[in-house]
Amino acid sequence: MAGLTLARRCQYAVDRALVGRRWRLALEKQFDPLTAELVMSRIWRDYLVRLATLPSGGHGLSPVPRWTLLSIAVYRALVVRGMPPELARTVTRNLAWDGYRVMGMLAWGLAWRPGRSRLARTRAAMDWFRRLFFTSPEFGWRELAPQAGRAGFDCVRCPIAQRYAVEGMSDVAVHSICSLERRLSASWGIRLVRTQTIADGGTHCDFRWYAGDARARRDAEETSAAKPGQD
């Protein structure tokens, strides 16, 4: 760990303790114990190198910048082992979901109030999500004018997309990391409608959640307007 500050060494140890065994077991189920061990060894070596390049400061205590590097290390390790890009993206998405799900559970729990509708709770949960994990000024958020039956905002600056672009892996971000919001919304019992992402070449990521008939109409619009190949 030469070259790492004490804080970075602690972060590395924490991340490895949080997901190391869980990810290895997940890989064993999909492949075999030897492949899982070799892939995880490469992931941690790659992540250690990348962690040393992460600028200090910003994001507070959020794990998002570190886990971005970790997800990139996952994809690289899988491709080096000769796995097809499609499979590597799927495995990366599933492993990244492990941490994303925990963050979502925390935000959803903090957003609970007696009598609060699902849409209102989604709005509050996403406020917590941005306050705790996807923090400004690293992430740029644009609020929408209030509208009945709708919750949403735009992301106009995304360091995750930027990092993947630097690595030449924007397509990986689109089909893995960028799809996690849909999966999270489904776990909350609400459908996310999104037509573009920064990683996919859009000017921003549009996040829209709708209630009742409005949501159904937007679902239909999404079906007709969605870009080919977007998750």
* 122 vs 3, more confident: 122
Q: Which two tokens stand for residue 173?
A: 């971000």
Q: Which two tokens stand for residue 132?
A: 């705790």
Number of domains in the chain: 1
Distance CA 63, CA 94 (A): 17
Q: Does residue 231 fall inside a structural domain?
A: no
Q: Does residue 172 fall inside a structural domain?
A: yes
In this structure, are residues 134 and 158 in contact, taking their beta carbons and an 8 Å threshold?
Answer: no
Whether 220 has a pLDDT exceeding 50, the answer reads no
pTM score: 0.86
* 71 vs 5, more confident: 71
pLDDT class of 54 with cuts at 50, 70, 90: confident
Q: Does residue 10 fall inside a structural domain?
A: yes
pLDDT, position 53: 86
Q: Does residue 230 fall inside a structural domain?
A: no
Q: What is the pLDDT of residues 157-179, one digit of tens each?
A: 999 999 999 999 999 999 999 99
* 229 vs 14, more confident: 14
pLDDT, position 4: 79
Range of the domain at 146: 6-225
Q: Does residue 57 fall inside a structural domain?
A: yes
Average pLDDT over residues 95-121: 96
Token pair 């799927």 is at which residue? 90
Average pLDDT over residues 57-80: 88
pLDDT, position 3: 64
Q: Does residue 58 fall inside a structural domain?
A: yes
**Residue 31 burial (CB count, 10 A):** 16
Q: Does residue 81 fall inside a structural domain?
A: yes
pLDDT class of 146 with cuts at 50, 70, 90: confident
Distance CA 230, CA 148 (A): 28
pLDDT class of 213 with cuts at 50, 70, 90: very low
What CATH number is associated with residue 75? Answer: 3.90.1520
Q: Does residue 94 fall inside a structural domain?
A: yes
Give the start-end residues of each E strand in 75-175: 140-143, 150-157
**Residue 4 burial (CB count, 10 A):** 15
- Tell me if residue 54 falls in helix, strand or coil: coil
